[in-house]
Amino acid sequence: MRSLIAVTVALAAFGTLAKPAFSQEPIKIGVMFPYTGPISAQGRPERDAIKQAFDEENNTIAGRKIELLYEDSTGRPDTGLTKIKALVERDKVHLLLSELVSSIGAAVAPYVNEQKMPWISTVALASLTRAQKSPYIFRFVPSSYQYATTAAEVAKKMGWKKVYFIGWNAPPSRESYEAVKKVFGEENVVDAMFPNVGTSDYAPYLTKMDTSKADGVFTAMWGADAPRIVQQYVEYGLNKKMPLFGIASFTSEELLGDMPAASVGVLSAYTYCGTLDTAENKKFVEGYQSRYKAVPGSYQYMGYMAAKMVIQAIKDINGKVEDREAFIAALGKVKVKGPMGETSFDEQHGMVADFYVLTVEKGSNGQLQNRCGERIPQVKDPYASFP
């Protein structure tokens, strides 16, 4: 009897030794976005695209299963922080692939840094790679300074000399204005206007614009406000004399459905262009369309590619995500060729990616789409101009 027990114990011990400890447990990834509230229209599609990226790997990387744990940040910073704590302390995730709201990003960053928890965010908050930078935080989305500087430089190359600026009375628009001022010089900004988020009538602002005084208008507002200002801009006939240049994802694919037909010709410069003809983009767009019956835009692209970066980093360390230092070192070096070209992180963990000049046009099916113009290769966050 005693020997039988000994044999059993020995076998059991052998069993646990034979299997490498790390390959049994799944890799747990915390995916927190706003799934309810006003920003859920961006949060849910981005999560869907992240799911798509992991499904393309059959949810198994380097022999380990992937488990995505979802939490709803509701778009509020204190709730977001509580939910991140739930993922880290209760669910013991190995890494976070989360969030797009800048106020939540600012609230979560100190906690994530303290916990030494790898966090790949799509929060366009410039401070994440500046004042709040951390070896554990990666920002896979251009910062406000990065996208606005690029937009301003494109417009300057097109021959713009004097400009108007209209944007939300909110941090990303204010920072965009700083970038426009830097590129054009303050004396060349005829007027800068900052209506509140959700303003329904832009007449007081648009009537102030004098087409003889400027070459074009920069606008930095997004979501439902973007189609609204385009509609009114066209109604006032301003588009015939002064082109409108949207900053960042102003003409993102998911918004084009709400844009008026007359918005053909609206410009922007950003990291995603839906009609770009590459094999990777075709796979992304068709995969997303067949799953979710919608055209993916820039938010989906960020989620999809952020997931691809994580997948490549996990492969590079052979699935050993328990070694966080090795994981963040690998992620810092990852280069992935995606739908829009190669993407990577700079030394402060900001996104490095190709930008494209986009022009809204009417597609062959009568729907609005983005025409992909000049490619601006490997744009980095301008740390030197905006420390």
Partner 1 sequence: MTNLLPHMSGRKFAVIALIGTAVLLALPYFLPPYYLGLVIKMMIFALFAMSLDLLLGYTGMASLGHAAYFGMAAYVTGLLALKLGWSVWLTLPAGILMAALTALLLGLLALRTRGSYFLMITLALSQVVWGIAFGWRSLTGGDDGLPEVPRPNLPLPWSMADSTPFYYFVLFFVVVGTLLLVRIVSSPFGCALRGIRESETRMLALGYNVWRYKLAVFVLAAAFAGLAGCLYVFNNRFVSPDYIHVARSAEVLLMVILGGAGTLIGPALGAAAIVLLENIISTYTERWLMILGFVYVLVALFTPNGLTGLIESLRKRRSGP
Q: Which of 193/313 has CB closer to partner 1?
A: 193
Angle formed by the axes of helices 279-292 and 40-55, to 10°? 110
- Closest distance of CB 198 from partner 1, Å: 13
The half-sphere exposure of 165 on its side-chain side, counting CA atoms within 13 A, is 31
Contacts 24+ apart (CB under 8 A), 205-214: 205/166, 206/232, 206/233, 206/236, 206/238, 207/236, 209/164, 209/238, 209/242, 211/238, 211/241, 211/242, 213/162, 214/162, 214/163, 214/164, 214/190, 214/242
110 forms part of the interface with partner 1 (CB under 8 A): yes
Subset of 227-286 contacting partner 1 (CB under 8 A): none
Residue 134 CB, shortest distance to partner 1, in Å, is: 11
Q: Closest distance between partner 1 and the C-beta of residue 362, in Å?
A: 36
User: Closest CB to partner 1 among 112 and 313?
Assistant: 112
Residues between 14 and 43 that touch partner 1 (CB under 8 A): 35-36
* Position 132 contacts partner 1 (CB under 8 A): yes
Q: Binding of partner 1 at residue 109 (CB under 8 A)?
A: yes
Residue tagged 């494109």 (tokens):
154
- Out of 41, 86, 192, 294, point to the residue binding partner 1 (CB under 8 A): 86
Question: Which residues share a beta bridge with 121?
Answer: 98, 139
Candidate list 55, 78, 210, 342; residue touching partner 1; CB under 8 A: 78
- Residues 41, 62, 106, 336: which binds partner 1 (CB under 8 A)? 106
- State the alpha helices, DSSP H only, in 208-359: 225-235, 253-256, 279-292, 298-316, 324-333
Of 162, 172, 272, nearest to 221 by C-alpha is 172
The single-letter code of the amino acid at 260 is: P
Q: Which amino acid is residue 107, in one-letter code?
A: A
- Total residues interacting with partner 1, rule: CB under 8 A: 31
Q: How far is the CB of 88 from partner 1 (least distance, A)?
A: 8
Does 107 bind partner 1 (CB under 8 A)? Our answer is: yes
Q: Are 96 and 306 in contact (CB under 8 A)?
A: no
Residue 213 C-beta: closest distance to partner 1, Å: 28
In the complex, which residues of this chain contact partner 1 (CB under 8 A)? 35-36, 71-72, 74, 76-79, 81-83, 85-86, 89-90, 102-103, 106-107, 109-111, 114, 125, 127, 132, 169-171, 174
